[in-house]
Chain A
Amino acid sequence: MRKFPLKGLLSRPLSEAAPEVLGEVEELGIALRQKLGRSLAIRLVDAGSCNGCELELQALGNPIYDLEQFGLKFVASPRHADVLLVTGPVTRNMEVALRRTYDAMPAPKWVAAVGDCARDGGCFAGSYAVVGGAAKVLAVDLYIAGCPPDPRALLQGLLGLLERASTGT
């Protein structure tokens, strides 16, 4: 057990294992702090995704992307959240839960639709069981494209949202 922290102390940071990504991620972080100068609390609602988008959102927490180093943090309650991330085509079975989660968030609040499904229903559009995208239920401030968007796209997307939030557009 002691070997791990010891090795950690004596070796370079783990994150250097992927310099090409880290460079970008670091720049994002600096821009982020300059823009907002504070932390941002994020709440996710899976509105019927295939789970692919969640896997990449989870990856934001690994030591390479380390979301929290930028002050971005997933929170357990919508009452603590500034940003609502929506994944999935918004199934009819999740529509009420999605709306209620949004209603529980304090203002000001933003909504980001994550993944091609949340944009317009993706390949599930037109189904009797699907509303067809987050914008059919909530006012969406930002779309992050991809199926699923990879962690870098997710970080870039969140930065875009912060830009808009801080300029008030």
Chain B
Amino acid sequence: MSDIFDLISVPAPEFRTGPMARHKVSRAEWQLAIDELARGGLSLLSLWASRGAVHMALRRGETGEIGVISVDSRRKTFPSVGVQHPAAQRLERAMVDLFGLSASGAIDARPWLDHGVWGLRHPMGKTSEQAIEAMDYQFLPSEGESLHQAAVGPVHAGIIEPGHFRFTTQGEIVVRLEARLGYAHKGVDALMSGVDARASAHLAARVCGDSSVAYGWAYAQAVEAALGVEVPARAIWLRALMAELERLANHLGDIGAICNDAAFGMMLARTSLLRERVLRECDTCFGHRFMKDVIVPGGITRDLDGEALRRLRVLTGEIGEAFAPLVALYDATASLLDRTVGAGVLSPELAQNFAAGGFVGRASGRDFDARRDLAYAPYDQLEFSVPTRRDGDVNARIWIRIDEVAQSLSLIGQILDGLPQGAIAAELPSRGAAREGLGLIEGFRGDILVWVKFDGRGRIARCHLRDPSWFQWPLLEAVIKDNILADFPLCNKSFNCAYSGVDL
């Protein structure tokens, strides 16, 4: 039996430029990996299935190297990861629903994506036409005196995505929150199988509306790595430019929205103006407010001229200037800080254990950013810092995002200054061998993983997309415990997890 760490040995630059090796392991070795996950020596990047096998992407804490391992599941079972490593539970339940597998040893066998209304079961595995019983969903129990349950969703009061929250409270205090998601499940995994790389890119940009660029990039990178395509430098720099604009727009909008949920509406009015300003400039420069479909496997579809670069320079100057007094205002408004400081505290241990990405992890001491720690071009040539804090409350998450706004503005400036000349797209080989590739891109919520497998005819055999929110949603449930119910919108917004991104 090999040392499991020997299999987790690919440094970041390597998987980004060529096909990703995958190691078939025995059940015993799979178990060793699970033990290491539980011990903290490895962190989980993702867990997914394809026909006949279950795969895990892992990262080694000490060295930052990564690896993908697979265990055979042709007998329809595999050793449960979630039983020892809770961060894997929902990924596992989703996979069981789609492929009809059974996770041996699992403590939570409830369906996740399958609500019993598809008219079939196991759409990606051996499909059966017998649907599960629709209403038979048991929420986790709470015991104690004077408990009261509140059910919220899937239709919410605001303009947000669908999901169900089941609160158990004692008086005002939340004793337990359990989310039930899957309402936005569109069957993306199935839609992506058997189509060519271009058609799939269109879908990848529509998995999660606020992260079109990050998803488009992660997907393109996985495809390019699998096929060994070398993307022109200018295209890569412009991708980063779009990624930073996307991050900027989201951070600006959300900082205001969080304050709005603490009844400080003026901040939202101000930051939503700045956000609108960014989106309009994206529209002018890239032809779409969310820059959908600009990134394609091989490069990008739209170049920027000197005028566009000038406009973006003006934009960053203006945003920087207008944002500073808002930050000062946030910091000086006691009634607002009274709501955000100390609310919804996420402990560093939990953030680490779940390998929570993005501002959620970084506000709780998890010093990880794929742009730096799984470095990719052009970030390896740019200067930026990764803000972290350890206090882990709503206030900390706001501050991380405030600091990231400054970093993004600086990055945009550096990209505009250093943008190389040249082509913006490379040809994709029309037909290739059966190959696999991995993409990992830092979106505004955290690291997005895409794993793609090509069949021998240039079509996608399987594409797996893992949103950062898989490792953040469960933490929101931990965070809200012992807070008052009225603080849920505030805590929730400070996480701003994706629904469609995890429901797929």
Residues of chain A whose beta carbon lies under 8 Å from any beta carbon of chain B: 1, 3-4, 14, 17-18, 44-59, 61-64, 74, 76-78, 88-89, 91-97, 101, 122-124, 126-130, 147-148, 150
Q: What A residues does B500 contact at CB under 8 A? A: 48-51
On whether the beta carbons of B161 and A46 are closer than 8 Å, the reply is: yes
Query: Given B123, B182, B292, which contacts A93 in the complex, CB threshold below 8 Å?
Result: B182
| Contact residues, B5-50 vs A (CB, 8 A) | none
Q: Name B227-268 residues within 8 Å CB distance of A.
A: 253, 266
Which residues of B approach A to under 8 Å, CB–CB? 113, 115, 117-120, 123, 154-155, 157-162, 182-188, 190-191, 202-203, 206-210, 212, 253, 266, 269-270, 272-273, 275-277, 279-280, 283, 289-290, 292, 325, 329, 332-333, 498-500, 503
Are B154 and A74 in contact (CB-based, < 8 A)? no
**CB atoms of A50 and B333 under 8 A apart:** no
Check A53–B209 contact: CB distance below 8 A: yes
Quick check: B329 and A4 within 8 Å, CB to CB? yes
Q: Pick from A47, A59, A93: contact of B117, CB below 8 A.
A: A93
Query: Which of the listed residues B157, B203, B210, B500 has the most CB atoms from chain A within 10 Å of its own CB?
Result: B500
Would B269 and A47 count as touching, CB distance under 8 A? Answer: no
Across chains A and B, the number of contacting residue pairs, with CB separation under 8 Å, is 145
Given A124-B191, A148-B209, A150-B289, also A59-B186 (CB < 8 A): no
Inter-chain contact A76/B158, CB cutoff 8 Å? yes
Q: Is the interface of B mostly helix, strand, loop or mixed?
A: loop
Chain A interface mostly: mixed
A62 contacts B184, C-beta separation under 8 Å: no
Closest to A51 in B: B209
Complex contacts, B160 vs chain A, CB 8 Å: 46, 54
A127 touches B191 (CB 8 A): yes
Instruction: Kindly state the separation between the CA atoms of A32 and B378 in the bound complex, as whole angstroms.
Output: 49
- Known contacts A46-B184, A97-B162: does B206 contact A123 (CB below 8 Å)? yes
**B210 CB contacts on chain A under 8 angstroms:** 51-52, 55
Nearest B residue to A44 via CB reads: B159
Given A3-B325, A50-B500, A59-B275, 14 more pairs with CB closer than 8 A = A1-B332, A1-B333, A14-B273, A48-B184, A52-B210, A54-B159, A54-B209, A74-B159, A93-B183, A95-B117, A97-B154, A123-B206, A124-B188, A124-B206
A-B contact pairs, 22 of them (CB 8 A): A1-B332, A1-B333, A4-B270, A17-B273, A17-B277, A18-B280, A45-B162, A46-B161, A48-B184, A48-B500, A55-B210, A59-B275, A63-B269, A63-B272, A76-B158, A94-B183, A97-B155, A101-B155, A124-B191, A124-B206, A128-B120, A150-B289
The one of B117, B162, B280, B283 in contact with A48, judged by C-beta atoms closer than 8 angstroms, is: B162
Complex Cα spacing A55 to B206, Å: 13
Which residues of the other chain, B, contact A92 by a CB distance below 8 angstroms? 115, 117-119
Q: Which residue of B lies closest to A65 (CB)?
A: B276
Which residues of chain A have C-beta atoms less than 8 A from B113's C-beta? 93
- B259 CB, min distance to chain A CBs, angstroms: 13
Pick the residue among B187, B203, B272 that contacts A59 (CB under 8 A).
B272
Beta-carbon nearest neighbor of A50 in chain B: B209
CB-based nearest B residue for A126: B191
Evaluate whether A48 and B186 lie within 8 angstroms (CB atoms) in the complex, with A63-B273, A93-B117 already known: yes
Q: Is the CB of A129 within 8 A of B159?
A: no
User: How far, in angstroms, from A109 to B421 measured CA to CA in the complex?
Assistant: 55
Cβ–Cβ < 8 Å partners of A77 in chain B: 157
Q: What residues of A have a CB within 8 angstroms of the CB of B212 in the complex?
A: 52
In the bound complex, residues from chain B placing their C-beta under 8 Å from that of A89 are: 186
Q: Which residue of B lies closest to A148 (CB)?
A: B209
Q: Which residue of A lies closest to B333 (CB)?
A: A1
Chain B residue contacts of A45, Cβ below 8 A: 155, 162
Known: A52-B212, A92-B117. A130 touches B162 (CB 8 A): no
How far apart are A42's CB and chain B's nearest CB, in angstroms? Answer: 10
Inter-chain contacts of B202 with A (CB < 8 A): 123
Q: State the CA gap A147–B333 with chains docked (Å).
A: 39
Question: A88–B185 Cα gap in the complex (Å)?
Answer: 11
Cα–Cα distance between A130 and B504 once the two chains are bound (Å): 11
Instruction: Please indicate the chain A residues that have their CB under 8 angstroms from the CB of B123 in the complex.
Output: 128-129
- How long is the Cα–Cα vector from A44 to B159 in the complex, in angstroms? 7
Which residues does chain B contribute within 8 Å of A44, judged by CB atoms? 159
- Name the A residues within 8 Å of B185 (CB-CB): 48, 91, 93, 129
> With the chains together, A114 CA to B498 CA distance in Å?
20
Q: Are A57 and B162 in contact (CB-based, < 8 A)?
A: no
Contacts of B162 in A (CB 8 A): 45-48, 94, 97
Residue on B with the closest CB to A116?
Answer: B206
**In angstroms, how far is the closest chain B Cβ from the Cβ of A59?**
6
Interface-central residue, B119, B154, B275, by most chain A CB under 10 Å:
B154
The reply to whether A54 and B161 contact each other, CB–CB distance below 8 Å, is yes
Which of A52, A57, A62, A126 touches B272 (beta carbons < 8 Å)? A62
For residue A113, give the distance in angstroms from its CB to the closest CB of chain B. 16
User: In the complex the two chains form, what is the Cα distance from A4 to B273 in whole Å?
Assistant: 14
- Alpha-carbon distance between A74 and B208 when the two chains are bound, in angstroms: 23
